[in-house]
């Protein structure tokens, strides 16, 4: 075994060294310096009006399309948002279509609810709408869950043509689309299509989160949807009992946005992620065996590697520690345990020096097995 620590390229979160502790400290001081005690009380189920207005202004700037406060509902992150959607909009036994592969912990959330999952393929252009249409011939879903931009785990983005066809099918077959768009703001604006709801705002519930653009410990996110969907979502027992998601943290983030810190930090993240993404891509191109294939993402956190089918990725993952590297094996992202020769790596957590070392170790591991 090599004498070094393991660099785990499976970690899909921001670099701790880049988290804006100083800006958050200033925002908290700004918010708590006045006599307003509202953030310490139970808040409205959908979140405070002032924070939703501030968030709407921020999202309008970043996404370059209008966002309205009455279309926003504050949640305790995107995972809470997804669970809330399932609890309020689905009945036991309802079919929910999910991409294959998809976000591995979303599968856990689905399993906690009495819904039936139906898999739909993903390729280099995102959700395969032809496969979706084939599934629609035999199943009538209540929801279709998709990660349309910088997909987790594949890194691909749903094409313009497929976005339009997806929404045509949503109208034709009367289903809602849950767009997990937590990576929407992680790529440069010119490389990122507008949110999916710009195609059909009545049919899309968009999930967003500060976890990817500020810090996972913030535990705040949002749902953007038509007001009648927001009204159904806010009418939940857990919200009646506890009020809106973390009024205090929401108030601090309101100051963070108002003071300009979130915009500036997001600009810094774009530069950091772009540099790391391009760097890891260059490293992998130089060290991976020719049989390994991957598509270069334009944003997000992830690169999806496809190995020859003779490779058992679960066995390989147990051997990786001896080479000082980690990754997430493909079957974790499939409800059918598919993708047994795929793996996901992330470029968000480590700096370029560590990414170089990790890429070299991964290359050595794969060369030893191919």
What are the pLDDT digits (tens) for 303-341? 999 999 999 999 999 999 999 999 999 999 999 989 999
Q: Strands (DSSP E) along 148-288, which ranges? A: 176-180, 204-209, 221-224
Mean per-residue pLDDT, 42-63: 96
Give every CB contact of residue 21 below 8 A, 6+ residues apart in sequence: none
Question: Does residue 1 fall inside a structural domain?
Answer: no
The CATH number of residue 105's host domain is 3.40.640.10
Query: Among residues of the chain, what percentage have pLDDT more than 90?
Result: 95
Q: State residue 4's pLDDT score.
A: 60
**Residue from 349, 353, 351, 333 nearest 341 by CA:** 333
Describe the strand order of the beta sheet including 328-329 as a list of residue ranges. 293-294, 302-306, 342-346, 328-329
Domain boundary pick from 259, 275, 309: 259
CA distance 158 to 144: 14
Task: Answer yes or no: do 168 and 242 share one domain.
Answer: yes
Which of 226, 259, 292 corresponds to the end of one domain? Answer: 259
Are 240 and 42 spatial neighbours (Cβ–Cβ below 8 Å)?
A: no
Q: Which domain holds residue 323?
A: 7-19+263-369
195: number of Cβ within 10 Å: 22
Domain count, the chain: 2
Indicate if 281 and 246 belong to the same structural domain: no
Query: What pLDDT sits at residue 188?
Result: 77
Q: Does the pLDDT value for residue 6 go beyond 80?
A: yes
Q: pTM for the whole thing?
A: 0.95
Q: Which two tokens stand for residue 106?
A: 């979303």
Which residue, 231, 259, 287, sits at the end of a domain? 259
């Amino acid at each position: 075994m090599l004498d070094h620590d393991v660099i785990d390229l499976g970690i899909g979160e921001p670099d701790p060294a880049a988290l804006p502790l100083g800006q958050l400290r200033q925002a908290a001081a700004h918010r708590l310096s006045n006599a307003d005690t509202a953030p310490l009380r139970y808040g409205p189920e959908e979140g405070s009006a002032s924070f939703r207005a501030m968030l709407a202004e921020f999202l309008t700037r970043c996404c370059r399309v209008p966002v309205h406060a009455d279309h926003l509902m504050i949640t305790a992150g995107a995972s809470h948002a997804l669970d809330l959607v399932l609890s309020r909009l689905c009945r036991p036994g309802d079919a929910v279509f999910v991409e294959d592969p998809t976000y591995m912990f979303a599968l856990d959330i689905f399993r906690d609810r009495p819904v039936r999952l139906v898999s739909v393929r993903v390729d280099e252009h995102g959700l395969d709408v032809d496969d979706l249409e084939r599934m629609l011939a035999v199943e009538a879903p209540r929801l279709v869950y998709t990660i349309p931009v910088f997909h987790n785990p594949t890194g691909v983005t749903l094409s313009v043509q497929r976005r339009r066809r997806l929404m045509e099918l949503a109208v034709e077959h009367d289903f809602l689309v849950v767009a997990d768009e937590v990576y929407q703001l992680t790529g440069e604006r010119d490389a990122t299509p507008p949110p999916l709801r710009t195609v059909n705002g009545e049919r899309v519930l968009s999930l967003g989160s500060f976890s990817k653009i500020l810090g996972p410990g913030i535990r705040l996110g949002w749902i953007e949807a038509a007001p009648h969907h927001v009204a159904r979502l806010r009418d939940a027992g857990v919200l009646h009992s506890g009020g809106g998601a973390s009024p205090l943290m929401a108030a601090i983030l309101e100051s963070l946005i108002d003071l300009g810190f979130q915009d500036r930090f997001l600009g810094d993240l774009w530069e950091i992620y772009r540099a790391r993404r391009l760097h890891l891509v260059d490293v992998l191109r130089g060290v991976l065996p020719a049989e390994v294939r991957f598509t270069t993402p334009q944003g997000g956190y992830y690169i999806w590697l496809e190995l020859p089918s003779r490779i058992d990725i679960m066995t390989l993952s147990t051997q990786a520690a001896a080479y000082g590297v980690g990754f997430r094996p493909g079957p974790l992202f499939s409800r059918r345990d598919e993708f047994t020769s795929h793996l996901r790596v992330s470029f968000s957590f480590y700096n370029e020096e560590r990414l170089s070392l990790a890429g070299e170790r991964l290359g050595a591991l794969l060369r030893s097995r191919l």
